[in-house]
């Protein structure tokens, strides 16, 4: 087995495998501040991370349907 591949138990897998939206949602759930976004300003990943953190897409629609839907 190669040492450069993450194990199944690795909590921080290769960054290319992480979904920025899920990462942002996880950060909020763990109590991280919004300013903790690790992606560069104006990058697509930053917008996705913030969507996950805020629970709202850039277009303004909720990422998760409300109970009324």
pLDDT of residue 5: 46
Q: Across the strands, what pairs with 62? A: 56
Q: What is the mean pLDDT of residues 6-30?
A: 72
Q: For residue 63, is it within any domain?
A: no
Residue 32 maps to a domain: yes
In a domain? residue 48? yes
Over residues 1-15, the pLDDT tens digits come to 444 444 444 444 445
pTM above 0.85, yes or no: no
Q: Name the domain count of the chain.
A: 1
Q: Pick the residue with more confidence: 30 or 18?
A: 30
Q: What percent of the chain has pLDDT over 70?
A: 58
Sequential DSSP letters for 38-55: -SPTT-HHHHHHHHHHHT
In a domain, 39, yes or no: yes
């Amino acid at each position: 087995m190669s040492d450069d591949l993450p194990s199944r138990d690795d909590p921080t897998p290769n960054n290319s495998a992480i979904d920025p939206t899920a990462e942002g949602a996880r950060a909020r759930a763990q109590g991280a501040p919004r300013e903790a976004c690790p992606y560069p300003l104006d990058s697509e990943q930053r917008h996705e991370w913030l969507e996950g953190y805020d629970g709202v897409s850039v277009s303004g629609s909720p990422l998760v349907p409300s109970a009324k839907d």
